Structure 1
């Protein structure tokens, strides 16, 4: 057989393993587990870190204030140095809509060794601690919740005795680029962190979706959240690892009624979203970057190339192996497209999307070595070195 045919066979073998040996990552039926209402509903504090979110806050914050929750609950919005009037808008929305009590506060600029979001989360948890809640809901300012979202999350956590329950919010898919890139983003995430393995006690797989994380307050204290992950750019995965590493029981699945309202209409918006943290996901390792590029090439790019080149060049083995690999790739992507209510004709285009993600990942590394690190909303985070232990002012 030709070298191309052998490479295509390797790609097909990889897809057979992904299909059967990676926790059935391609299935989209991991939703909130069975749950029942508790006899007494525990108290909950909702913490919302927000930096320059005035453009989306009117769609998201009222949904939190309107939560139909039988127990005691209140919302803490932490204005992380916004320059667009985010804090004032939040107060106005609370006056206009009513609902759960809202506190708006600001922690000031984060000290060295902290990302801005986690510094804001720390401040919000500190404010919430005075209420002694049983649960904390950590949710982003661009996430809209159905009226029963909090009730369902708490019931699931109580019923399953989970320390952390997280839902992957349904991201917006309206523009052409969102349709091409966004479902694949969740598909790739599930491939890296198969949802079914996350809930298994003792498994090494741990992840959460930062837009919607219900966390027991005592589990947060055991895992020293967020101090123990204060430098993390990919804070949701770091949070889940910290909680699971401290003995916590965690769960992650797809949401049906928790939605992101943030638009990514242009390719450069999506590019920035992915590239800002892609190299951090690889722990800023050139070796892991090279392995990722090679892996994406063999798994996603070789099948269509082998299929087309094999047909044109009369290489039956390459065309057959490449076509079968491409078929498996397409089939595993269809459930995610259905979840996002997208046409199945997008499924064969997954190699094109994977190529875009490959370029975004390389660009993330290039930006890192140019000293720009992970940039987001005016802040740049370089490679985290070993974090010093927090001083007395941080642990008080």
Structure 2
């Protein structure tokens, strides 16, 4: 009985600390900071780099939104076709002919050498093409992200006004199917819990993260931080990019998007499972002890509240039931703002323990797949753990 009460009280203590001591991660009001438009004629040049591998299914909904940006300054788009087999490059050219708008360059970098992930090799190629245009900013955005017409304008204005070296927005992911509504808001909720947005934007803090789907990066900062060469083997490249910028003294900002949405559907549980499990173990640096600690932490924080509530009621332990029930209530309350942001029904809030259990299983599966040699696999490529990747950079051509 004392173990049951202790577990319930420990879980409640963890939730009270998360509620008040983890940068108010559960609040969803971190949006683009105050901004002022540059004077006419003073808008800096921007190049948009879009790495794309087998994205024909979503490109028709995303690329026209980039080509149609109403940016007042000079801007152009570089789509880097990363060895697609579905006609991604050809479709991109056809969309540019059909829709017009910003100039589009489509190119391919060839297969990535050892030590590089495919996406970052494509980003490297796109940045190299863009540098010939001498842009002040680079917008790194994924091929499944649709932007509102003023997205680029507002990102640049925010970066200029706040003197940020990187401004990133967590694009609103699709949450339409039953499984998407159950899993997707929790994905962003857990991310914010690990990397509280308010801390990221403060100078002098070590917390660093970005959302790879939408990152406006100062060109000078990218060159100084050796991006993407310095993070060439990173599977979770957005967090690695933010860390490289911040370690170099850069000022970064991350918040929830108002003008960028993912158009990639993941209607089935197996689609979402693959999205999470492909990189979950990489987040833990492929370390078994970190995996064990994560599983124990998820169990204490997310699974213990409903379990101790039910067990306490069954065993007649009022303290265990009270502490477990209160922890569950605090958990659900902190999840409500994210559900509102995603326009999902609020009755999903009490189901967060079940969703967390799914994430626990996805994380364990990620470790199992890694040890079977199938970890960090995406679109036909499997990446080695960073410690096994060669450190030598490829020679410049």
TM-score when scaled to structure 2? 0.98
C-alpha deviations, 1:210-256, integer Å up to 9, x for none?
Answer: 00000000000010000000000000000000001001000000001
Quote the residue 2:33 is aligned against. 33
Quote the residue 1:18 is aligned against. 18
Q: Is 1:223 aligned to residue 246 of structure 2? A: no
Quote the residue 2:209 is aligned against. 207
Quote the residue 2:7 is aligned against. 7
Shift of 1:2: 2.3
C-alpha deviations, 1:5-45, integer Å up to 9, x for none?
Answer: 11000000000000010000000000000000012000000
Quote the residue 1:375 is aligned against. 377
- For residues 265 and 34 of structure 1, what CA distance do their matches in structure 2 show? 36
Shift of 1:310: 1.2
C-alpha deviations, 1:236-279, integer Å up to 9, x for none?
Answer: 00000000100100000000120000000100000000000000
Structure 2 unaligned blocks of 5 or more: none
Q: Is 1:349 aligned to residue 351 of structure 2? A: yes
- For residues 115 and 106 of structure 2, what CA distance do their matches in structure 1 show? 24
- For residues 324 and 284 of structure 1, what CA distance do their matches in structure 2 show? 34
- For residues 374 and 380 of structure 1, what CA distance do their matches in structure 2 show? 6
Quote the residue 1:85 is aligned against. 87
Shift of 1:391: 4.2
Q: Is the 8 A contact 2:169 2:210 kept in 1?
A: yes
- SS at 2:249 equivalent: coil
- SS at 1:45 equivalent: strand
- For residues 287 and 31 of structure 1, what CA distance do their matches in structure 2 show? 36
Shift of 1:384: 1.5
- For residues 378 and 216 of structure 1, what CA distance do their matches in structure 2 show? 32
Q: Is the 8 A contact 1:372 1:382 kept in 2?
A: no
Q: Is the 8 A contact 2:22 2:193 kept in 1?
A: yes
Q: Is the 8 A contact 1:80 1:120 kept in 2?
A: yes
Quote the residue 1:47 is aligned against. 49
- For residues 294 and 382 of structure 1, what CA distance do their matches in structure 2 show? 26
TM-score when scaled to structure 1? 0.99
Quote the residue 1:295 is aligned against. 297
- SS at 1:385 equivalent: helix
Quote the residue 1:132 is aligned against. 134
- For residues 312 and 375 of structure 1, what CA distance do their matches in structure 2 show? 44
- For residues 387 and 115 of structure 1, what CA distance do their matches in structure 2 show? 10
Counterparts of 1:83-122 in structure 2, within 5 Å, are 83-122=85-124
Quote the residue 1:182 is aligned against. 184
- SS at 1:74 equivalent: strand
Shift of 1:201: 1.1
Shift of 1:386: 6.0
- SS at 1:393 equivalent: coil
1:261 paired residue among 254, 263, 267: 263
- For residues 283 and 391 of structure 1, what CA distance do their matches in structure 2 show? 22
82-91 vs 379-388, which moves further = 379-388
Q: Is the 8 A contact 1:177 1:265 kept in 2?
A: yes
Instruction: Rate the CA distance shift 1:298–1:282 in 2: closer, same or farther, 3 A.
Output: same
- For residues 79 and 392 of structure 1, what CA distance do their matches in structure 2 show? 20
Shift of 1:392: 6.1
- For residues 76 and 7 of structure 1, what CA distance do their matches in structure 2 show? 53
Shift of 1:383: 1.0
Q: Is the 8 A contact 1:51 1:79 kept in 2?
A: yes
How many residue pairs match? The answer is 395
Aligned-residue CA RMSD in angstroms?
0.9
- SS at 1:25 equivalent: coil
Shift of 1:390: 4.1
- For residues 12 and 305 of structure 2, what CA distance do their matches in structure 1 show? 8
- For residues 380 and 13 of structure 1, what CA distance do their matches in structure 2 show? 40
Shift of 1:382: 1.8
- For residues 192 and 393 of structure 2, what CA distance do their matches in structure 1 show? 37
Q: Is the 8 A contact 1:227 1:390 kept in 2?
A: no
Q: Is the 8 A contact 1:331 1:347 kept in 2?
A: yes
Q: Is the 8 A contact 1:47 1:78 kept in 2?
A: yes
Which consecutive segments of 4 or more residues in structure 1 shift more than 6 A? none
- For residues 389 and 289 of structure 1, what CA distance do their matches in structure 2 show? 26
C-alpha deviations, 1:349-385, integer Å up to 9, x for none?
Answer: 0000000000000000000000112000000012122
Shift of 1:312: 2.0
